[in-house]
Amino acid sequence: MTTASVNPLRAGLPVERIANPCSVVFFGASGDLFKRKLLPAVFSMKLMGTLPADFALVGFARTAYDDAAFREYCRAQLALFMPADQQPEGPLWEDFARRISYVTADFKDTRYFLTLKDRLARNDAEFATGGNHLFYLATPPPVFPEIIARLQQAGLERSATGWTRIVVEKPFGTDLASARALQNAIEAVFPESTIYRIDHYLGKEPVQDIIALRFANTIFEPIWNRNYVQHVQITSAETLGVEERGGYYDQAGALRDMLQNHVINLLALVAMEAPISSAADDIRDEKYKVLSAIAPCSHAEVWSVSARGQYGPGAIDGREVPGYRQERDVAPDSNTETFAALKLYVESWRWAGVPFYLRSGKRLPRKVAEIAVTFKPIPHRFYGESTEAIAPNVLVIKIEPDEGVSLRFEAKVPGPKEHVRSVYMDFNYGTGFGVESPPAYERLIGDAMLGDQTLFTRWDAVERAWEIVTPVLEVWQNTKDFSFPNYAAGSQGPQSANDLFGEWRRL
Amino acid sequence: MKTSLQFVLVELSRHYRIRCQDVAVATMTIVVYVEDRAIGELARDRIRTLAGKHPCRVIVLDGTLGESEHRVEAADWVELGVKGAAAQTIASATDVLRLPEAPVVLLWIARGIEGEERFERLWHGVQTVVYNSSLVDAGCGALRELAAYVGHHPDLPLADIAYLRLAPWQESLAIFFDGAELRELFDLRGVEIACGSEPEAYYLLGWLAARLGWKAHDRGTLLDRNGVPVAFEVRREGEPRRIRSVSLRSSRSVYQARADDQTQTILMSVGGSSRHPQRFLPVANPGIAALVERAILRGRGDRIFAESLAAAGEILAAAEDS
């Protein structure tokens, strides 16, 4: 329950989404994710006034710090990763800093979790955090079950005076079996209503706008079905290689790293029916229905519905870059895909027969995340020969790097001849509203503090997404691809993807 | 109007064609009415910031320039001199020049609204009227007039910058009572507000009164729901349009929020039986452009604001009567 419902001064305030007082514990607080994303997100909330005034942050990791040293570490990281006008200084930083503490820990030893328990009790007394505890798992995934078991052993799985919630970073498992094992470990300790499986893509403003675009307008919904839509392309393309993550990525690959979670989540949002309300479970019910309507392919069908690729040396942004197998911590004969494409069908009344093409890859020529809905061609061409070139309408929901919506439609070229050409109506959040979208992690951490699970993935959807990709994963894992590397860095991706679907939107 | 609107429209169209590649979205037409040269320049500067963020057409109606003067600055910026022009003519010119589909926002930057025919003509049909009751009057004359006007015109889609400026203070006062201290909110016995200008102070007092069901009684006293007196004091202190401090006193505790301008924070402390660790809240005083933006985004129908304005009006009226 939010405080807005009981405090009459809260009604109508511009900042209504402020959570109850709480302590947030970051497991893995000496890691990359914490310093680059999580800490800046929380400090930015402090600066924006969206963090509860009664708040405390506890870092919990193996690296040895005392409280003062960890505060200094946090200050140094914020100085690096926050913009110039949001530096850690002045009374807001001092107030934030005095609420930071640290537990140097071994995740396998319950004694450190008892120390954490003491620390949280002290926070409750010192900072009036009300016994509300948010545990954020930002460690490598193999440690998750260990942490959860120790939290229970230390009696931290529930609070006598407040709420306890747990945020689980992606990836949620590395395959169906490991995801189920992780779920078993978590649900043995925490009920589903307290589990927040994070997919930071869902915190991005344009992803949230998909629902608004579809269900806050009347003009799209009547044509959002098999009668008008020819196909849907969902793309998540990166120019980056594996950077420092070669070791992790070589075990994961594009299908696990991007398609199984981010891209399939986008598909669910695009294809779902209108929820009966904006309540978290009403939306998540509809998303799950979409995924449950996608039949996993058989092993025999894998090659007709999927394509994979691995980048070789090439050029990005005018500079030469090495191939995947030359990256650090990557096996020189790696069979891991850096590009994955799938063709899926949602077997429902609305979408029967409409293919959904999903692709994600590294070292592609442009960083693009988008959903392109291509409509069917006009039924009759009465403009004569010049209308051969009439292109179908395309509605593009742009997620990265531009955020917005564009619509391609046909218009007559001024003049006596009947020439028709495509024109683009373009809406960008940057120019439409002139405000930067808040970073995804800020939104998601705030939602977890508030107890709003809408933008977090429910277990049934995670499990179903794994079921959809499992046959592909299994066949790919068991089949060495001797054509690797099969696309040059900076190119449009492997030819096999074009064979799967010849009309990919050009990156 | 001595200006040819057809000529202005042709100019706008020419500018639009030059930069049509950039203009993909239009969110509104902003009509700015100014009567003071210096304030007008300031307003233009702020509106440029706003227009940079929200693509729109801006129509500046300049009461300091003669009717024959006009300027088309870019595809979406037009200025008309309206000194001496009839209210009906000004309204008609605005109708011709506004974007046909987009909502219209009126920024009224002038002294006085009651009996002002230009205001009367211009606000009908617009989506939001943005006013600033503390811009031209640090006392409470403009706020008193506004409350009375809205009392007679409840359909005026009004937003007041002086009220919108209070957001961090409202937030800090709400935070005081988010937890177990909530019960003390209904036991408040005194309010002290120090502010550089009166509209903000009376708005904050009106907001508290409206939210807590307090009624105006006399100069310095309100009555709570049970008829128990709540003493109040509004003190002029510090820069205009900036609140310095707010103190709420219950029978057991004192809740104090105090501004530190240098660090742009509100220091929140509680003394007495509900003692609580000290807290800080960012003030982040938004500029006029951001406040106008907030006014536009909140749109019409802000019930809390309407109730706060009405309560502030009643408090001022009771003080005048007693």
% of chain A at pLDDT higher than 70: 95
Q: What is the Cα–Cα distance from A255 to A465, expressed in whole angstroms?
A: 11
Q: What is the pLDDT of residues B20-66, one digit of tens each?
A: 444 456 678 999 999 988 888 988 988 888 887 777 889 999 999 88
Which residues are within 8 A (CB) of B267 and not within 5 positions of it... i.e. 6 or more apart?
A91, B257, B258, B259, B260, B278, B279, B280
Given a contact cutoff of 8 angstroms between Cβ atoms, the answer to whether B105 and B130 are in contact is: yes
Of A203 and A339, more confident: A339
What residues does B243 pair with on adjacent strands?
Answer: B195
CA A392/CA A17 separation, integer angstroms: 42
The CATH number, out of the four listed (3.30.110.30, 3.40.190.10, 3.30.360.10, 3.40.50.720), of the domain defined by the range B167-286+301-321:
3.30.360.10
Q: Are B142 and B134 in contact (CB under 8 A)?
A: yes
pLDDT tens-digit series, residues A268-279: 999 999 999 888
Render pLDDT for B145-202 as a digit per residue (tens, 0 to 9): 999 999 999 999 999 999 999 988 999 999 999 877 888 999 999 999 999 999 999 9
In total, the C-beta contacts within 8 angstroms joining chain A to chain B are 101
User: Would the CB atoms of A92 and B174 count as touching at under 8 Å?
Assistant: no
Catalytic residue among A262, A299, A380, A419: A262
CATH number for the region A3-169 comes to: 3.40.50.720
A1 touches chain B (CB under 8 A): no
Closest CA to A294 of A277, A272, A276, A275: A272
Preceding amide of B154 cis, omega within 30: no
Tell me how far CA of residue B67 lies from CA of B9, B42, B62, B80, B106, in angstroms: 17, 22, 9, 7, 20
pLDDT at A500: 82
Least confident range from A95-109, A129-143, B85-99, B163-177: namely: B85-99
How far, in Å, are A32, A120, B241 from residue A424 at the CA level? 40, 55, 46
Question: What is the distance between the alpha carbons of residues B59 and B106, in angstroms, rounded to a whole number?
Answer: 10
**How far is the C-alpha of B148 from the C-alpha of B138, rounded, in Å?**
18
- The domain spans of chain A are 3-169, 202-439+454-500
A9–chain B nearest CA distance, Å: 5
Nearest chain B alpha carbon to A124? B277
The pLDDT, as a whole number, for residue B245 is: 96
CB distance from A126 to chain B under 8 Å?
yes
CATH entry 3.30.360.10 includes domain A202-439+454-500: yes
Record: contact A432-B303, CB cut-off 8 A: no
CA distance A242 to chain B (A): 36
d(CA A480, CA A230): 34
Q: Is the CB of A6 inside 8 Å of chain B's CB atoms?
A: yes
Structure confidence at residue A170 as a pLDDT band (50, 70, 90): confident
Residues in chain A: 507
Of A49, A53, A427, the CB nearest to B25: A427
pLDDT in tens, A211-221: 989 999 999 99
> Do the chains contact at B178 and A432, CB–CB below 8 Å?
no
Beta strands in A138-281 (DSSP E): 164-168, 195-197, 229-237
**Which residues fall within 8 angstroms of residue B101, CB to CB, at 6 or more apart?**
none
In A397-423, which positions are buried (b, 16+ CB within 10 angstroms) versus exposed (e)?
bbbbebbbbbebebeeeeeeeeebeee
* Closest to B98 (Cα-Cα) out of B125, B116, B118: B125
Put simply, the answer to whether B281 touches A428 (Cβ < 8 Å) is: no
**Residue numbers in A near B250 (CB within 8 A):** none
- On whether any CB of chain A is under 8 Å from the CB of B290, the answer is no
Residues of B in contact with A3 (CB under 8 A): 174, 178-179
Kindly list the distances between the CA atom of residue B258 and the CA atoms of A98, A102, A224, B172, B285, in Å, as whole numbers in the listed order. Answer: 20, 31, 54, 10, 14
User: CA-to-CA distance for B247 and B255, rounded, in angstroms?
Assistant: 6
Is A7 within 8 Å of B170 when comparing Cβ atoms?
Answer: no
**Which among A170, A489, A83 has a CA at the least distance from the CA of A310?**
A489
Quick one: DSSP state of residue A150?
A: H
Q: Strand, helix or coil at A308? A: strand
Q: Which of A153, A238, A225 is nearest to A189 (CA)?
A: A153
The model carries a pTM of 0.79
Would the pLDDT of A7 be above 70? yes
Which of A6, A8, A49 has the CB atom closest to B282's CB atom? A49
Cα angle A338, A343, A345 (rounded to 5 degrees) comes to: 145
Q: What distance in Å separates the CA atoms of residue A169 and residue A277, rounded to the nearest whole number?
A: 27
By residue count, chain B amounts to 322
* Average pLDDT estimate for B83-111: 87
Q: Do B179 and A21 touch (CB under 8 A)?
A: yes
Q: What is the pLDDT of residue B208?
A: 97
Q: Which of B276, B271, B209 minimizes the C-alpha distance to A8?
A: B209
Q: Which residues pair with B158 in a beta bridge?
A: B129
Residue to mutate among B30, B166, B178, with most A CBs inside 10 A, is B178
Q: A91 and B280: CB-CB below 8 Å?
A: yes
Q: Which residue of A has its CA nearest to B303?
A: A12
The answer to whether the beta carbons of residues B9 and B86 sit under 8 Å apart is: no
> What contacts A37, CB < 8 A, 6 or more positions away?
A200, A439, A441
% of chain B with per-residue pLDDT over 70: 92
On whether any CB of chain A is under 8 Å from the CB of B53, the answer is: yes
Token match 């020529």: residue? A365
Residue A359 has pLDDT above 50, yes or no: yes
Amino acid identity of B69? E
For B66-93, the DSSP string reads ETT-EEEEETTEEEEEEET--HHHHHHH
Would you state the pLDDT for residue B286? 67
The residue among A286 and B5 whose pLDDT is bigger is A286
ipTM value for the complex: 0.86
Nearest CA in chain B to A7: B178
| Structural tokens at position A464 | 């179903």
Give CA–CA dist A49/B177, Å, rounded. Answer: 16
Helix axis angle for A264-271 and A280-292, nearest 10°, is: 100
Q: B279 and A95: CB-CB below 8 Å?
A: yes
Inter-chain residue contact A54 with B302, CB threshold 8 Å:
no
Instruction: Reply yes or no on whether the pLDDT at A1 is more than 60.
Output: no
Pull the structure tokens for residue A104. Answer: 């140097």
Question: How many whole angstroms separate alpha carbon B49 and alpha carbon B75?
Answer: 16
**Residue A56, both tokens:** 């405390």
Secondary structure (H, E, C), A54-82: CEEEEEEECCCCCHHHHHHHHHHHHHHHC
What is the three-class DSSP state of A406?
strand
| B20 interfacial to chain A (CB closer than 8 Å) | no
Nearest CB among B25, B179, B260 relative to A432 is that of B25
Q: Which A positions 432-451 lie with beta carbon below 8 A of chain B?
A: 432-435
Is the pLDDT assigned to residue A466 strictly greater than 80? yes
Token pair in block for residue B74: 């870019």
Question: For residue A362, what pLDDT band results from cuts at 50, 70 and 90?
Answer: very high
Model pLDDT, residue A5: 46
Nearest CA of chain B to the CA of A64: how many Å? 29
Whether B174 sits inside 8 A of A431 (CB atoms) is no
Q: Does B303 touch chain A (CB under 8 A)?
A: yes
| A189-216: burial string, b at 16+ Cβ within 10 Å, e else | bbeeebbbbbbbbbbbbbbbbbbebbbe
- Which pLDDT tens digit goes with each residue over A227-238? 999 999 999 999
Distance in Å from the first CA to the final CA of chain B: 48
B287 touches chain A (CB under 8 A): no
Whether B19 shows a pLDDT value over 60: the answer reads no
Rounded CA separation A211/A270 (Å): 8
Question: Are A427 and B24 a contacting pair at CB < 8 A?
Answer: yes
Residues of B in contact with A8 (CB under 8 A): 185, 211-212
- Of residues A16 and B58, which shows the higher confidence score? B58
Q: Strand, helix or coil at A374? A: strand
When the pLDDT of each residue in chain A is averaged and rounded to a whole number, the result is 90
Each domain of chain B, given as residue ranges in start order, spans: 5-126, 167-286+301-321
In angstroms, rounded to a whole number, what is the distance separating the alpha carbons of residues B75 and B58?
A: 10
| Residue A262 bears catalytic tag | yes
Helix (H) or strand (E) holding B173: helix B167-176
Look at the alpha carbons of B222, B285, A437, A52 in this order and tell me if their dihedral is positive or negative: negative
Closest Cα to residue A54, out of B258, B180, B278? B278
Which of A101-105, A141-145, A435-439, B250-254 has the least mean pLDDT?
Answer: A435-439
- Per-residue pLDDT band for A203 (boundaries 50, 70, 90) equals confident
- Residue-wise pLDDT tens digits, B268-314: 999 988 788 888 888 766 677 778 877 877 766 789 999 999 999 99
* Residue B79 pLDDT grade (very low, low, confident, very high; cuts 50, 70, 90): very high
What angle do helix axes A176-187 and A144-153 make, rounded to 10 degrees?
10
Residue B25: predicted pLDDT: 62
pLDDT above 90: percentage of residues in chain A: 70
Biggest CA pair distance of chain A: 84
Between chains, do A46 and B185 touch, taking CB under 8 Å as contact? no
Q: What is the mean pLDDT of residues A307-312?
A: 96
CA distance B300 to A313: 58
Return the half-sphere exposure (C-beta side, CA atoms, 13 A cut-off) of residue B171.
27
CB spacing of A15 vs B171 below 8 angstroms: yes
Residue for token digits 């005048």? B320
Q: Pick from A126, A485, A202: which is nearest to A335 by CA?
A: A485
| Residue A47 forms contact with B (CB below 8 Å) | yes
Model confidence band, residue A413 (pLDDT cutoffs 50, 70, 90) = confident
Segment A370-384, tens digit of pLDDT: 999 999 988 877 766
Question: From the candidates A5, A6, A7, which should be mutated to test the interface with B, based on the most B CB atoms within 10 A?
Answer: A7
CB A249, CB A242: distance < 8 Å: yes
pLDDT of residue B244: 95
Q: Judge whether A135 and A116 are in contact, CB under 8 Å.
A: no
Q: Residues A14-39: what's their mean pLDDT?
A: 86
CA atoms within 13 A on the CB side of A111: 4
Residue in A49, A425, A432 closest to B171 by CB = A49
A428 touches chain B (CB under 8 A): yes
Residues A10, B174: C-beta atoms closer than 8 Å: yes
Residue A40 burial (CB < 10 Å; 0-12/13-18/19+)? Answer: buried
Choose between A112 and A423: higher pLDDT: A112
Contact A140, A252 (CB under 8 A): no
Question: Which residue in chain A is spatially nearest to B182 when comparing CA positions?
Answer: A7
Interface test with chain A among B23, B46, B175, B266, by most A beta carbons within 10 Å? B175
